[in-house]
Amino acid sequence: MSTLRIATLNVWNKSGPWTERLQVIRKEIQRLEPAILGLQEVLRLVSDGAAAAFTPSTCQATEIAQNLGYEVAFGEASDYSHGLRFGNALLSRHPIEETRVFELPGHETGERRSLLFARVKSPFGPLPAFVTHLNWKLDHGSTRLEQVRFIVDRIFEMAPVQRDVLPPVLMGDFNADPDSDEIRYLRGLKVHEGRSVFFADAWVFGGDGSAGTTFDRKNDYARRAREPSRRIDYVFVRGPDALLRGEPIRTEVAFATPELRDGEAIWASDHFGVVTDVVFAERSP
**Domain assignment present for 53:** yes
Q: What is the mean pLDDT of residues 107-121?
A: 94
Instruction: Supply the pTM of this predicted model.
Output: 0.96
User: For 141, which DSSP code?
Assistant: H
Number of residues that this document lists for the chain: 285
**Domain assignment present for 227:** yes
Share of the chain above pLDDT 90, in %: 85
- pLDDT tens per residue across span 184-215: 999 999 998 999 999 999 999 999 989 999 99
Burial 174-194 (b: 16+ CB within 10 A, else e): bbbbbebbbbbbbbeebeeee
pLDDT, residue 52, reads 59
pLDDT, residue 116, reads 98
Contact 206, 277 (CB under 8 A): yes
Contact 131, 104 (CB under 8 A): no
pLDDT, residue 50, reads 54
- pLDDT tens per residue across span 128-161: 999 999 999 889 989 999 999 999 999 999 999 8
Overall number of domains in the chain: 1
**Domain assignment present for 67:** yes
The domain in which residue 167 lies consists of 3-279
**Domain assignment present for 12:** yes
**Domain assignment present for 121:** yes
**Domain assignment present for 284:** no
- pLDDT tens per residue across span 24-79: 999 999 999 999 999 999 999 987 655 557 888 899 999 999 999 999 999 999 99
Residue 271 to residue 273: CA distance in whole angstroms:
6
Q: What is the CATH number of the domain that holds 173?
A: 3.60.10.10
pLDDT, residue 263, reads 85
Share of the chain above pLDDT 70, in %: 98
